[in-house]
Every structure is written in C-alpha cells, then in structure tokens.
Amino acid sequence: MAFIDKARITVQAGNGGNGAVAFHREKYVAAGGPDGGDGGKGGSVVLRVDANLSTLMDFRYRKKYVAENGADGQGGRKSGRDGADLLIRVPRGTLVRDAESGQIMKDLSDDAPWTLCRGGRGGWGNAHFATPTRQAPRFAKSGLPGESHEVILELKLLADVGLIGFPNVGKSTLLSVVSKARPKIANYHFTTLSPNLGVVETDGGGFVMADIPGLIEGASEGVGLGHDFLRHVDRCRLLVHVIDAAGSEGRDPVADFEAINAELSRYSPALATRPQIIAANKADLLQDASALDALRAKAQECGFPLYLISAATHQGVRELLREITRTLPTLPPVTVYEPEYVPPVQDADAEPVIQRRDDGAWTVESAWLERFMGNINFADYESRMYFDRALREAGLFDRLEALGIADGDTVSLYGFEFEYWK
C-alpha cells in the first residue's frame, strides 16, 4: 500500500431544511390556522482519529466530502429529519490546515472528535410567523447553508524517538530488533519507502520509535525521499542518529553526521537543537576501532552520547535502550500544535453597499439581505408587507433617504425591483 502523508480535500456540511407553508385541515374545524413544521438541521462534517490508520491513502482519489442535508418541514407541525453527520477517519497525528492561508486549524492527536464544518440550521415553518394581525402567513423561512471548507491534511507521525541517518545504515534493522515492527530489510538503498513505527517495551516503560527513511544530502530541498518524510521528524522528542561506523560503503562517518544534521537544520532550525544519541552501527564489521576516534570527538564536541552497536548481532543495543529510557523522562512531551487559524467574522450588522446605476435605479447588496430574501414569498401580499417592515426596521430606507432617494425611484435587490414611496 502506498504511503500518502498529504492530501487536499473539500468538505461541505449539509444545508438546513426549509420550513413548510401549510394550514391545518380538519373536519368541523374552520380556519385551523398555520401549522407548517420546521426544517431539519443539516449534517456536520466530523473528523476523528482511527488508530488502525497509518496513511492518508483514503484521500488519494476521493477529494470531496458532503454531509446530508436536513429534510424540509411538513404540515401538521412536523419537523424535518436532521441530516446525518459525515464522519471522516484520519490517522493519529494528522494536521488540518486551511488550504488558502496554510494555517493550522486542528492537530488531531487525541481521540476526541472535532467538527470541521457545521451543518446549517433548519428554517422555521409558517406557524412561527402567525400574529394577531397576520393570522395566515403564507411564507416560511429557508434553511441556512452548511459551512464549507477546503483543507490540507498533513500527517506528522507521533513518535517519542526518531531514527535518522543515511540509507542502508541499519535503521530498519535496529527497529526490528528492539520492537515487533517488521519493516522490509535489504542490502540496497531506499529499501524503506515509508516511515515505520514500533513500540519498544523496556523495564522503565515503553516508548514509540519511528524509522524515518529517505534522508540524504539535499533532502531539505527535495532530493531523494527526504523532502516527503522530513516532516515526520518534527514531533520526535529524541533523535537516534544511526551511522555506519565501519564505513562499509566507503563513506566517512563524520561527514555523514554533519550532512544529515545540516539537512535537519535547513528544514527546521528547531531540529538543530533537538537532543540526539549517536548509534555507531555495524560494529561487527569494524576493522579498526581507532576509526571511531574522529566520530567520538565530533560527538563530544556536540554534547551527544555515542554508543557503539551492531543491530545485526544485538551488540550494545541494550545499553542504547537504557540511555534512551533514561533520557526521555527529562524531555518535553510530544509536540501538539496549537491552532493558528481564525475563521473570518461574518458581520451580520455590516452596512449594505448602496449604489446608483446609470439609469437612476438604486442597487443594494448585503449578505444579510440576500439570505433574508430567500425566506420571502413575493407572490403573497402579507409576505411582502413583512418584508417591507423588516427593511424599515433594519434602517435600509433611512440610509437610502440620506443618500437622496426620491419617491418613484426604482430599488433593485438581487433582481427584485420595486418603486420607492415614503
């Protein structure tokens, strides 16, 4: 199965159902009155962590997710059914970012469900609009649209310890030795094509270890696989830098150490200060122990402990695990990112935009006005009177008069036109 750790999707919550226009009909009951029911609430889009998922593969082909709309109201004051919520399952450690700004909306690292888009409220039936002077309202309220959003899902693995180093230095072998993880192991570069997680059980407790593949020189600029997987190092509290101490491929251990740390620093300056333990691997192939002197000196210069190990023969692995177990309690917990995204404020009281056309007509635009007009039955006289009164109470006519509107001028509201008279 392919490892996918980034996906862009569009989500749409359900619209609220419309309120019903209905009147009570019953034998021997004259003028039963309005009894239109309310519309149901639209379904919301909810994200929840699924511990059985380790990749965003499910989002590779499906890009749009839409929740169910609320049902319309019915006569007899019967409310419409609420739309079902749409549950989207994601791997633990998934960041939800706003696609436009790139800001973090939520870090899904716990088990609590999170509502990404809320469903629209259902509209009122005409029973709500009955008054002593308007006993038979022939209009109802439309349901409100559900929220929609375009987001980027970005998986950052949750692990206490991250294994870093060049390809073929023994990271996967070490992970398989200390945990029950069974990554693919072979004697060629880029055997590991996706991060592997393993739970390490020790006398001092347990911790999660991740094998981060694909790090080579130039990884922070997209060379090799590192550009895709460097993000998974972000959350690791402790880095175990696995180095081929024997130089079995003709490589210089000190140069490898410096190259990998340079890539981490370029990707994120914070990673340059992350605690490290150097695991000088392949001790069983080491011909001259003095070859380690330069690496030991470099480790001492950086303040990093160094352990000579052989993942293949298990030499020194127990001592390495003891050092990891001793160090982890002194470090901060796994990073959980705080939300950065602030949703735009929908100002319902914002003044409408009023302009005068070349033909002398006045045009009015307002988000509130557009939504309100969806609730009006302009074919009904009482509905039009209700509309006129609402505009006056909102102060729209006062604004038009202040701008110089005269009796008989045409007012255009989203295609609906009428003549203005005081």
Residues 5 and 155: their CA atoms lie apart, in Å, by 5
Choose one of 122, 155, 188: the last residue of a domain.
155
pLDDT in tens, 235-267: 888 999 999 888 777 788 888 888 888 888 887
In the chain, pLDDT over 70 holds for what percent of residues? 90
pLDDT of residue 359: 83
User: Residue 341: inside a domain, yes or no?
Assistant: no
Structurally, the chain folds into a number of domains equal to 3
Residue 267 — φ and ψ, nearest 5°?
-70, -45
pLDDT band at 186 (very low <50, low <70, confident <90, very high): very low
User: Residue 247: inside a domain, yes or no?
Assistant: yes
User: Residue 343: inside a domain, yes or no?
Assistant: no
Where does 109-225 have alpha helices with state H? 171-178
Residues 144 and 301: their CA atoms lie apart, in Å, by 64
- 369-388 mean pLDDT: 77
Q: What is the residue whose two structure tokens read 């994200």? A: 47
* Judgement on whether residues 173 and 115 belong to the same structural domain of the protein: no
* Judgement on whether residues 18 and 113 belong to the same structural domain of the protein: yes
pLDDT in tens, 46-102: 999 998 887 888 898 899 999 999 999 998 889 999 999 999 999 888 999 999 988
pLDDT of residue 53: 82
Choose one of 298, 330, 362: the last residue of a domain.
330
- CA 2, chain centre distance (Å): 21
* Judgement on whether residues 64 and 149 belong to the same structural domain of the protein: yes
* Judgement on whether residues 121 and 48 belong to the same structural domain of the protein: yes
* Judgement on whether residues 271 and 217 belong to the same structural domain of the protein: yes
Q: What is the residue whose two structure tokens read 């020194």? A: 316
- Domain hosting 248: range is 161-330
pLDDT of residue 223: 45
CATH of the domain at 100: 2.70.210.12
Of 156-160, 308-312, 325-329, which gets the smallest average pLDDT? 156-160
- Read out DSSP for 237-295? SEEEEEEETT-TTS--HHHHHHHHHHHHHHH-GGGGGS-EEEEEE-GGG-S-GGGGHHH
pLDDT of residue 211: 84
pLDDT in tens, 109-127: 888 999 999 999 898 888 8
